[in-house]
Structure 1
Amino acid sequence: MRKLAVPVIACLLALTGLYLLRQPPADGGVAVPASAAAVRNVIFINGDGMAAAHREAGRLFLAGPDGSLAMDRFPYSGQLTTSPADPASVVTDSAAGASAWATGRRTYNGAVSVDTRGRSLPTLGAQAKRAGRATGLVTTAQVTDATPAAFFATAVDRKAQDDIARQYLEVSKPDVILGGGEDWWLPAGTPGAHPDRPSADPSEASLGRQGDLVARARDDGYRYVSTAGGLAAADGGRLLGLFANEEMFQQNGDVYEPPVDLATMTRKALGILAADPDGFFLLVEEEAVDEFAHANNGRRVLQAMGELDRAVEVAQSFAAAHPGTLVVVTGDHETGGLAVVDGDAFPVKGTKLRFGMRWITTGHTAQDVPVSAYGPLADRFTGKHPNTYVHEVLAPILTR
């Protein structure tokens, strides 16, 4: 047989090695591509309810026609579809959308990382912890709301937020938990740092059924903080911060004044998680984009987009200073059927122009959502993919 030239043999060996690295392992686990080793940390950022029009409205308002949001300056971008596996709807909710990211499986609306028969699925947050990484979640929603829950818990119904909190402590054990939702960590009739039935929303009150989970968290070594000052003073180790009874803003009003902003929580979480020599996974979520889009409140959506983009800047700056950090920014679904049109409601920064925001629904739609990425493996997020593709990219990184 004719001998192959040495360069040809070398190429064949290299290709064979890559092929073998991408094959499913014998134990049925996740195949690990060679390039996954380049990623040490993953920061996954969800603008809840955010699609292309929300980003464009935010760009015009915050940066002007010749400017760009931080998330728009990421070098790679693509699109994700958002269809659930729900017999009653082609439009996803946040629970099914986040479950697709966290498990790689489509499921029904209201499901938290369970399949369509209600069986629990492995989640990326829990898997990252088992693989030795530090983990954390930061959100302006309840820390037990649909998106963070999908990465760190399972439930047949997203409403079981007290049990989701219990699972954080007993099962997935994130190192950093920052956001709202203290009501779900305390038994009914036992107010915590945030008084029951505040004047801003008298319906808010402690309502858990799993005992005093704040006390249990302290017993497990978490430092508990409930104010901006307490967060600033926290200097490492396990951290639980609950800064409101429910969301960190009044979702049914025209007020967006979170007691701690998303960028500050993100910066604190990164400072703690970065101490782990094995790397980390951090979920970051701005909930207010979705909530105010449900209300068709363009002014507050623009404010929330600004807060989200500031958190993106924090993540991108961290990644620039820490090679091996992958940052991904996307939305779980579109809310409001938003279109950006000529109008006089909102100024275009740096110009005399103005624009309007037009809505077709107060619910979700089936529009695709943009995804942008920065860092090693960011190029994997080009093209159009189902939302389960997020899991396809991240699972080999976080489970190795």
Structure 2
Amino acid sequence: MKKILTLFLCSSLSFSFAVQANEQPTVNKIKPKNIIMIVSDGMGPAYTTAYRYYNDDPNTPEIEETVFDRHLVGMSSTYPAPVSGYVTDSAAGATALATGVKSYNGAISVDVNKKPLKTVLQQAKKNGKKTGVVVTSQVNHATPASYISHNESRRNYNAIADSYIDNGINIDLLLGGGTNYFVREDRNLIDEFKAKGFDYIESYDQLNTIRSDKSVIGLFAPIGLPWALDDSNKYRLSAMTKAATAHLENNNGYFMLIEASQVDWGGHSNDIASAMAEMDDLAETLIYLEQYVKEHPDTLVVLTADHSTGGLTLGVDGEYKWEPSVFKGMKQSSHSIAQAIAEKDITAEQLAQMLTFALTDEQFSQLQVIKENKADDIKTYQLTRQLYTKINQFISEKSYTGWTTGGHTGIDVPVFAFGKGHSIFSKKIDNTDIAKKIFKLL
């Protein structure tokens, strides 16, 4: 009996060592040279469904597949550390995605005791890879900050911007908005980046002039970029991504964070038209990356959301319909329309051209009442906000778009992946698992 038991134990140990010996070559075999992590802020599953219908060609009987449909691999939970309950904010969500550790809402890659946590971008830089960040928010907003730096509060915007230099520069490319935080009365961080050897660009046209032998910072707006519907380039995320991939390519590979930041902002404002335009910009970015991965098969692309925003739903009040055609033709955001109404007199006919549909007399009257009843001391942006909210309400009603909140929700979010090693992100995972898997690939 002892001989049998001894033989069994030896066989088991041999099998265990064999598995361990085979694990490392397997991991090495799927290790990508380049890793592109995309966070579509606020993009719960209703957003990708909505985009499918928004993108549909009404002249064909089928509903066309989107780039998101082609690469769906699983779902991710999003809850933060227990101290913050079940619903995360963007900072805790990004901290989990960047470090593999759950923290409190508001944390920028620090744990619940406010101690710094290593991020995947920092590890990539330590490994000799180039690093880049491309966002449509300000570059010191919650998500990019959580990959680049550490702070006890996402609201410490100036301190976060300062840390990009003071804590040691760990990025080779930084593109987005945020000039107000980098050129201040007390400090000019742009000049400091230049002194460190960075090129500085301030227009999309200059993306084509980026030198491959120098690091670059590009800030294209005082805070976040304009809405895609209002920007000079409605596919600015795609344009920045194209320039970034070309700039970051090198023999050691790179890690890049891309954030479609303003999907979330559309959700917070219950602004379906702007949210879908932001999704369209993201879709164009993914379509470009599909081709990029074909040409660079040693590249991994992972896309997920930090949470879902707004409680978006398609179909309301018992009506079995959703009509994105109501807002698909809009050439400017409802925010810019609201601003125009706040600043000058707009006729019902002019407003119908802006919205691509006519308001009822009652709806137009409601806008006039808001404008006429404003307090003498109300600022233009406050009046614009009131009009913006009302216009979004009209668009949602006409398109049968539903919202449950102006904040975040606690639902699981989709995970998309393609390229080398993408299969390890499949099935149901937690947001921390994404960072843990990327650490292993690094």
TM-score when normalising by structure 1: 0.82
Tell me the residue number matched to 2:303.
329
Cα deviation, residue 247, structure 1: 0.5
One-letter code aligned to 1:372: F
Tell me the residue number matched to 1:144.
140
Q: 1:121 is paired with a residue of what secondary structure?
A: coil
Residue 379 in structure 1 maps to residue 356 in structure 2: no
One-letter code aligned to 2:69: D
Tell me the residue number matched to 2:325.
347
Cα deviation, residue 380, structure 1: 1.1
RMSD: 2.6
CA contact (8 A) 2:322 2:401 kept: no
Equivalents in 2 of 1:120, 1:291: separation in Å?
28
Provide closer, same or farther for how the CA distance between residues 129 and 66 of structure 1 changes in structure 2, counting only shifts above 3 A: same
Cα deviation, residue 368, structure 1: 0.4
Structure 1 unaligned residues grouped into runs of 5+: 22-31, 189-208
Instruction: Give the aligned length.
Output: 354
CA contact (8 A) 2:310 2:409 kept: yes
- Alpha-carbon deviations, 1:155-197, whole Å to 9, x = none? 0001122222232234242111000011111223xxxxxxxxx
1:149-160 matches, cutoff 5 A: 149-160=145-156
2:194 to 209, 215, 218: 218
Provide closer, same or farther for how the CA distance between residues 47 and 156 of structure 1 changes in structure 2, counting only shifts above 3 A: same
Which protein has the bigger helix share?
Answer: 2
1:29-108 matches, cutoff 5 A: 34-35=27-28, 38-64=31-57, 66-74=63-71, 77-108=73-104
Equivalents in 2 of 1:344, 1:312: separation in Å?
25
Tell me the residue number matched to 2:241.
266
CA contact (8 A) 1:214 1:224 kept: yes
Tell me the residue number matched to 1:206.
none
Structure 2 unaligned residues grouped into runs of 5+: 329-397
Q: 1:388 is paired with a residue of what secondary structure?
A: helix
Q: 2:36 is paired with a residue of what secondary structure?
A: strand
Tell me the residue number matched to 1:196.
none
One-letter code aligned to 2:45: A
Cα deviation, residue 287, structure 1: 1.3
Cα deviation, residue 356, structure 1: 3.2
CA contact (8 A) 1:248 1:258 kept: no
Q: 1:282 is paired with a residue of what secondary structure?
A: strand
Q: 2:134 is paired with a residue of what secondary structure?
A: strand
Moved over 6 A (4+): 8-13
Provide closer, same or farther for how the CA distance between residues 228 and 176 of structure 1 changes in structure 2, counting only shifts above 3 A: same
CA contact (8 A) 1:84 1:106 kept: yes
Equivalents in 2 of 1:158, 1:102: separation in Å?
15
Residue 314 in structure 1 maps to residue 288 in structure 2: yes
Residue 118 in structure 1 maps to residue 114 in structure 2: yes
1:126-137 matches, cutoff 5 A: 126-137=122-133
- Who wins on radius of gyration, i.e. which is larger? 2
Residue 176 in structure 1 maps to residue 173 in structure 2: yes
CA contact (8 A) 2:201 2:207 kept: yes
